[in-house]
Amino acid sequence: MSRRIHRVVVRVTVALVCLGPCLGALAGGAGQTVSLVPLPVSVETRAGSFLVTQETPVVARGEAITEATKLIDALAPALGHRLRLIEESSAARSSIQLALESSLRRRLGEEGYDLEATPGTVVIRAAAPAGLFYGIQTLRQLLPPAICGRQEAEGVQWTIPCVHIADYPRFKWRGLLIDPARHFIPVPDVEQYLDVMALHKFNRLQIHLTDDQGWRIEIKKYPQLTQTGAGMDFTAIGRSGKTEGLRPGGFYTQDDIRHLVRYAAQRYITIVPEIEMPAHTGAAIVSYPQLGLYPQKLDALPPQQRWTANERVLAPRPESVAFMQDVLTEILDLFPGRYIHIGGDEANIEHWKKSEEMQGLIRKLKLKDEPQLHSWFIRQMDTFLASRGRQLVGWDEILQGGLAPGAVVMSWRGEAGGITAAQAGHDVVMAPTSHTYFDYYQGPPATEPKAIGGDVRLEKVYRYEPIPAALSTDQARHVLGGQAQLWGEYISNQKHRLYMTYPRAVALAEVLWSPKDARDYEQFMARLGLHLERLRAWEVNYRPL
């Protein structure tokens, strides 16, 4: 992608018209504050504003019509009416226009856009539909915050300050992770999560579909995975010994998944499925004990004891490899995206050391030790996925025993895994606990809802730099972007999920989208104040500042 625009215009002629704290927000026409997150590459404000009325048409042709409809849908609840869609540009006065122009590709890439608002028109131009979509997200933020409301807002002047914005993302992987394995997340809650992600220009949602505590996706060939493995929601049992008040588990049918994949794609978000192996496989082993190291022993246990009692690492026999490849076959049918996450983390391979059978397997495969057996197992999945045109993603433990040829590394135990992988020419996604674990506390533990531990505050997220200093310019090209992890052990409902996500995800959105040189925490905080009014209007929970 071409990166021609380096200019980030931050005018400081602001204070005159801002009512609240607005350092870093820009004064737009009609005294309206231009306060955008993530910060665009270039923003120039001008005098005057464009007024959206009942009569304002949205002009679009061809593929742009789909995006125009999304704009009309997004604005309708708060406006109290649907803007008219028209195709002819002769009626273009006092209109909002969306136009695809492939010549913009060199300057703005696939996701970039150019937005120009004058008193007479608002024009969003992009090389591809994704760019129009992101321009629309910016347009929503140029309107008063009440535009995010779910009901008609009375007495609001729907003005858009005159402005010229040119914008495109810094990174191509701008991700969040949710964890329905620990506490199942109903489909409408995933939809809302995607809706809010889209406003912040995120484009990847990793869904952690399987773990010790539950198997959350229907696999036709192995129905027991959901008949047994989805009835679990065991984390709380494991930690507290109590069972009352716990929700039963749940799972996504294949139709649910198709729906969510489509819903996400309409928002230019790719769902990255995560099917954990060879560890975090407790729910699979409960359902099919032959996957485990000690099937006889497991068989004898009642289900609710198995998840802690089982060895939480599967036995990488040829039959287990075939089983997981069968699962992946159905996964590939459901998820069209290039990247398939197979976990790979936290495998207690000590259990393979103690197993006669696994020691025999190591000898048979002519491997040296258990880390090599781990690597061998991951390679079986890498080859399988590559032969079907997909790419394996795994947590940084997949480096142990040798990295599979096509693997993308998700670096969670700090930066080291990401650095090693990028230096070896592998793509990486930065997801370190230190800055991107959103299940960690975001304030003093005494006053926050119970969390798993840690300390990842808003400012820390904002100051995160995804490109490690140790990488050369060439190696840095392997950093696809970054991702925040919202593990679900302590998060059982959507209100809490959103509270843990926002506003930290707003900070991360800016880290991943905006130019590095434009990042300024004080300015961000000023813009965030207004942005939280949008979330409030949208009834999206967040942690107050």
Nearer to ligand ACM, 195 or 346 (CB): 346
> In whole angstroms, how close is the CB of 435 to ligand ACM at the nearest point?
14
Q: Rounded to an integer, what distance in angstroms lies between the CA atom of residue 536 and that of residue 181?
A: 29
Tokens of 351: 């259990």
Q: Rounded to an integer, what distance in angstroms lies between the CA atom of residue 376 and that of residue 285?
A: 20
Q: Rounded to an integer, what distance in angstroms lies between the CA atom of residue 432 and that of residue 70?
A: 34
Complete DSSP assignment for 465-479: -SS-TTS-HHHHTTE
Taking the CA atoms of the chain, what radius of gyration do you get in angstroms?
Answer: 25
Nearer to ligand ACM, 335 or 412 (CB): 412
Q: Rounded to an integer, what distance in angstroms lies between the CA atom of residue 101 and that of residue 99?
A: 6
Pick the catalytic residue from 67, 114, 167, 211.
211
Q: Of the candidates 345, 386, 454, 536, which one interacts with ligand ACM according to CB under 6 A?
A: 345
Nearer to ligand ACM, 345 or 455 (CB): 345
Q: Is 299 a catalytic residue?
A: no
Q: Rounded to an integer, what distance in angstroms lies between the CA atom of residue 387 and that of residue 160?
A: 50
User: Could you tell me which residues come within 8 angstroms of residue 300 by beta carbon, excluding any fewer than 6 positions away?
Assistant: none
Nearer to ligand ACM, 170 or 182 (CB): 182
Tokens of 11: 């005018």
Residue 239 host element (H or E): helix 235-240
Tokens of 454: 């840690």
> In whole angstroms, how close is the CB of 306 to ligand ACM at the nearest point?
21
The DSSP output letter for 247 is P
Question: Locate tokens 């409030």: which residue?
Answer: 536
534 φψ region: left (φ > 0), alpha (ψ -120 to 50), beta (else): alpha
> In whole angstroms, how close is the CB of 147 to ligand ACM at the nearest point?
37
If one asks whether residue 346 binds ligand ACM (CB under 6 A), the answer comes out as yes
Nearer to ligand ACM, 323 or 395 (CB): 395
Pick the catalytic residue from 183, 200, 208, 280.
280
Tokens of 186: 């109903």
> Could you tell me how many residues of this chain bind ligand ACM (CB under 6 A)?
4
Q: Is 73 a catalytic residue?
A: no
Q: Rounded to an integer, what distance in angstroms lies between the CA atom of residue 484 and that of residue 466?
A: 12
Query: Around Cβ 272, how many Cβ atoms within 10 Å?
Result: 23
Max CA pair span of the chain: 79
402 to 421, contacts with ligand ACM by CB under 6 A? 412
User: Could you tell me which residues come within 8 angstroms of residue 240 by beta carbon, excluding any fewer than 6 positions away?
Assistant: none
**Strands 173-178 and 204-208: what pairing?**
parallel
Pick the catalytic residue from 44, 191, 326, 346.
346
Q: Rounded to an integer, what distance in angstroms lies between the CA atom of residue 304 and that of residue 219?
A: 22
Nearer to ligand ACM, 417 or 503 (CB): 417
Residue nearest to ligand ACM (CB): 345
Question: Whose CA is closest to 501, among 438, 422, 420?
Answer: 438
Nearer to ligand ACM, 149 or 401 (CB): 401
Q: Of the candidates 251, 395, 462, 502, which one interacts with ligand ACM according to CB under 6 A?
A: 395
Query: Cβ distance 42 to 167 under 8 Å?
Result: yes
Q: Is 211 a catalytic residue?
A: yes
Nearer to ligand ACM, 256 or 396 (CB): 396
- Give the catalytic positions in this structure: 211, 280, 346
Task: Give me the residues that bind ligand ACM (CB under 6 A), please.
Answer: 345-346, 395, 412
